[in-house]
Homo-oligomer: A and B are copies of this chain.
Amino acid sequence: MIKKISHIAIIVPDLDASLAFWRDTLGLELSHTEEVASQESIVAFLPAGEGEVELVQPTTDTSGAARFLARRGPGLHHIALEVDNLDEMLARLKAKGVRLINETPIAAAGGNRAAFIHPESANGVLVELYEAPRQ
């Protein structure tokens, strides 16, 4: 049911300064940047093979990303795994007693469906389950 690592999200205070490292120094390509209203952030997408590194700059002081940045500084925020059927996966996780942040799917970047597992159920890791649109 899990198809691949979809992306790794890194919270940063300044997208341009971060691109100087991830794009210009490390050599990843920048596919595009997108304002993700639901996350109150601007996100830069840098493909790496079949996955992506995402740099997330909060645009407000109130989002989860902004509070993470204020509390812990820049760093790894979450990993996203692509699933083929998000509804089935969420039903399965609920049945097994996994603590979910989103019991029903939310809108992720690009308008796709996603849901987050609480770090308490996943060894301290914030895990996004991401469902790509069917081709």
Contact = CB atoms under 8 A, between A and B. Distances in A.
Instruction: Name the interface size band of chain A.
Output: 35 or more
A76 B125 contact: yes
A48 B125 contact: no
Query: How many copies, total?
Result: 2
Interface in A29-85: 48-51, 53, 55, 72-76, 79, 81-82
Chain A at the B interface: SS class: mixed
> Which 6 A-B residue pairs are closest in the complex by CB-CB distance?
A4-B49, A75-B124, A74-B123, A74-B124, A5-B51, A76-B76
Interface of A: 1-5, 8, 10-12, 18, 21-22, 25-28, 48-51, 53, 55, 72-76, 79, 81-82, 89, 92-93, 96, 98, 119, 121-125
30 contacts: A2-B27, A2-B28, A3-B48, A4-B50, A4-B51, A5-B5, A5-B8, A5-B49, A5-B53, A8-B8, A8-B79, A10-B124, A10-B125, A11-B123, A21-B98, A22-B122, A25-B92, A25-B93, A25-B98, A26-B93, A48-B81, A50-B50, A51-B51, A74-B123, A74-B124, A75-B119, A75-B123, A75-B124, A76-B124, A76-B125
